[in-house]
Structure 1
Amino acid sequence: MATREELYAKFGITAEAGQLFETELGTLILCCQALEHGWHVAPDGEKARAALDEILHTLKSRGRLEGDLEKRFASALKARNRLNHGFYERHNFKIQTDEGRDAMMVDLESLHEELFQAWRIASAMTSLVSEIMLHDAGPAP
């Protein structure tokens, strides 16, 4: 049976996966924008900052996510929101009992798995785009 400490630790690990996923999406979008505008060759910090301010909009319009990938990312964003906006409220008094904490751990494990897998996919995409950018930028001066 899960203790409060184990539950809090699992929540933290799951929140980390959600933040990794969000950060990776931002990096991926910035890389796509950099390729499109040549920022990897001639940096433009002001425009790059504006791109970061529109992460989700940019991902939908420029990321060309299709089919299962779009569904997975949308589902992961919902999982992230379920975790960060009401996890404890939804579970209410379950934290008071062994069985309730175990149910909360099951929910956290499911959320963590979904967020972690989405982060891995986004990270692989970012790595590929980064390789293209490095290739396009040419050798270092």
Structure 2
Amino acid sequence: MATREELYAKFGITAEAAQLFETELGTLILCSQALEHGWHLAPDGEKARAALDEIDRSTLGRLLTALKGRVALDSGLEDRFASALKARNRLNHGFYERHNFKIQTNEGREAIIADLEALHEELFQAWRIASAMTSLVSEIMREDAGRTP
């Protein structure tokens, strides 16, 4: 039997996964811009700050659109990230309203926990993929910077 406290903790853990995914996409976009503009070779703090500020003002949906404009995503990955966006929106927009009075019963709380677990898995896996992509771009930047005298 899940308690309200366990349910709220699972909601928080799931929200963390959503934020990790969103932050990772922003980092990936910033890295791709740095690579494109050569900021890893000749830093330009002013332009990089402007790019980061634009990223920070963006919604997750806008970040995904921006990413698709910078990085070729196969249809499976694009679908995976779109699904994570839907999961994040389900979590952050009306989650408790949709579950309504379920929180008041043991069975209802178990159903809410199951929903949160599915959302968490979706978001966590999307974050892991985005993180791996960022690591690859970062490695390319390090190697490129190492070849430059």
Which TM-score tier does this pair reach, normalised by the shorter chain?
A: over 0.9
SS in 2 for 1:48: helix
- How do 1:1-141 and structure 2 match up within 5 A? 1-52=1-52, 53-54=54-55, 55-138=63-146
On the 8 A contact 2:21/2:124 being kept in 1, the answer is: yes
Matched residue type, 2:130: A
2:77 and 2:49 mapped to 1: Cα distance? 26
Q: Sequence identity of aligned pairs in percent?
A: 82
Aligned length in residues:
141
SS in 1 for 2:42: coil
Matched residue type, 1:125: M
On the 8 A contact 2:64/2:81 being kept in 1, the answer is: no
1:92 and 1:116 mapped to 2: Cα distance? 25
On the 8 A contact 1:41/1:137 being kept in 2, the answer is: yes
SS in 2 for 1:93: helix
1:33 and 1:129 mapped to 2: Cα distance? 11
**Offset of residue 48 of structure 1:** 2.3
**Offset of residue 85 of structure 1:** 1.2
TM-score by length of 1: 0.93
CA deviations on 1:64-101 (whole Å, 9 max, x unpaired) are 11210000001101101111111111111111111111
On the 8 A contact 1:51/1:58 being kept in 2, the answer is: no
On the 8 A contact 2:28/2:133 being kept in 1, the answer is: yes
On the 8 A contact 1:40/1:133 being kept in 2, the answer is: yes
On the 8 A contact 2:41/2:148 being kept in 1, the answer is: no
1:74 and 1:88 mapped to 2: Cα distance? 22
1:57 and 1:50 mapped to 2: Cα distance? 18
SS in 1 for 2:72: coil
Listed as ranges, the gaps of 5+ residues in structure 1 are none
Matched residue type, 1:30: L
Listed as ranges, the gaps of 5+ residues in structure 2 are 56-62
On the 8 A contact 1:17/1:119 being kept in 2, the answer is: yes
